[in-house]
């Protein structure tokens, strides 16, 4: 087992040539915005790259996320760790590439096609309302990977019982006017969006970042740490 992923959860159901993980509190934080010593955080990122290299993965794409719906496509021609500005999703068809999003209540969405395409999407309520999953699937479709042949994994995130939001958030995400506060299950909305696109397989991790704060980081729970949703095309 990789040193950096020994407490991570493997993403189930991915086809041969693809690996996926969601990290946990036990793996430490990968967030770059806390007061934790920079050497410790960067050490985790360096160790992760070294572990991925044992799988032949020489590219790791991440981003400074802004809760939007912009998705970047990553091709060959570079190696190392890329941290792009202002995007919340990544797609690649280039083998030897890993894609990662950071989360702590938001949903890490991993998408794959068995012929060799993967995506990692950061879906909070804003990204979900803005259609980041549709954007990722649109890119897959444009490259010849039909949604009906894809798999989608919705990772650990804050659950609908814990996530109370205002009427403006409910209206934005569901498209139905809301009169007051309510509880929002973002993963349920993402599942509906995936099934509306005819996605062949949708798998949901029921872990709640807030309910299970002993295992996950939760922004609403006061954590500054961040977990990873990570997918690699080998």
Task: Please indicate, yes or no, if residue 100 is contained in any of the structural domains.
Answer: yes
Q: What angle do CA 186, 98, 111 make, to 5 degrees?
A: 35
What are the tens digits of pLDDT across the range 14-37?
Answer: 999 999 999 999 999 999 988 899
Q: Phi and psi for 41 in degrees, rounded to 5?
A: -65, -50
Residues in the chain: 234
What are the tens digits of pLDDT across the range 169-209?
Answer: 999 999 999 999 999 999 999 999 999 999 999 999 999 99
Using 50, 70 and 90 to split pLDDT, how confident is the model at 4? Answer: confident
- Mean pLDDT computed over every residue of the chain: 97
Q: Decide: residue 161, CB within 10 A, 0-12 exposed, 13-18 middle, 19+ buried.
A: exposed
Task: Please indicate, yes or no, if residue 2 is contained in any of the structural domains.
Answer: no
Using 50, 70 and 90 to split pLDDT, how confident is the model at 211? Answer: very high
The range of the structural domain enclosing residue 116 comes to 9-233
CA dihedral 28, 32, 34, 37 (to 10 degrees): 70
Task: Please indicate, yes or no, if residue 4 is contained in any of the structural domains.
Answer: no
What are the tens digits of pLDDT across the range 38-96?
Answer: 999 999 999 999 999 999 999 999 999 999 999 999 999 999 999 999 999 999 999 99
pLDDT for residue 149: 98
Task: Please indicate, yes or no, if residue 55 is contained in any of the structural domains.
Answer: yes
Nearest to 216 by CA among 165, 160, 155: 155
Sign of the Cα torsion 134, 138, 140, 141 reads: positive
Task: Please indicate, yes or no, if residue 107 is contained in any of the structural domains.
Answer: yes
Q: Which ranges of the chain does DSSP label H, i.e. alpha helix?
A: 38-53, 125-130, 132-142, 167-174, 186-196
Using 50, 70 and 90 to split pLDDT, how confident is the model at 141? Answer: very high
Task: Please indicate, yes or no, if residue 214 is contained in any of the structural domains.
Answer: yes
Using 50, 70 and 90 to split pLDDT, how confident is the model at 3? Answer: confident
Output the domain CATH number for residue 181. 3.60.140.10
Q: In this model, does residue 1 exceed pLDDT 80?
A: no
Number of domains making up the chain: 1
Nearest to 125 by CA among 105, 149, 148, 95: 105
Task: Please indicate, yes or no, if residue 37 is contained in any of the structural domains.
Answer: yes
Q: What is the DSSP letter of 16?
A: T
Nearest to 119 by CA among 226, 195, 233: 233
Nearest to 176 by CA among 187, 184, 132: 184
Distance of CA 147 to the CA centre of its chain: 18
What are the tens digits of pLDDT across the range 43-56?
Answer: 999 999 999 999 99
């Amino acid at each position: 087992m990789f040193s950096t992923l020994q407490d991570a959860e493997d993403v189930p159901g991915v086809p041969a040539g693809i690996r996926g993980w969601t990290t946990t509190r036990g793996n430490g934080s990968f967030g770059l915005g806390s007061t934790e010593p920079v050497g410790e955080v960067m050490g985790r990122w360096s160790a992760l790259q070294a572990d991925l290299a044992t799988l032949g993965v020489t590219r790791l794409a991440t981003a400074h996320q802004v809760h939007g719906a912009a998705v970047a496509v990553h091709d060959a021609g570079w190696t190392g760790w890329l941290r792009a500005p202002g995007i919340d999703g990544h797609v690649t068809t280039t083998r030897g590439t890993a894609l990662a999003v950071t989360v702590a209540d938001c949903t890490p969405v991993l998408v794959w096609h068995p012929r060799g395409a993967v995506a990692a999407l950061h879906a909070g309520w804003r990204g979900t309302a803005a259609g980041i999953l549709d954007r990722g699937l649109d890119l897959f479709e444009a490259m010849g990977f039909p949604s009906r042949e894809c798999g989608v994994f919705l990772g650990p995130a804050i659950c609908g019982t814990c996530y109370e939001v205002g009427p403006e958030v409910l209206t934005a995400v569901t498209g139905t006017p809301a009169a007051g506060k309510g509880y929002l299950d973002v993963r349920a909305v993402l599942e509906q969006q995936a099934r509306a696109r005819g996605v062949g397989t949708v798998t949901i991790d029921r872990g709640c970042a807030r309910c299970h704060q002993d295992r996950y980081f939760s922004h609403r729970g006061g954590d500054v740490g961040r977990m990873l949703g990570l997918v690699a095309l080998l």
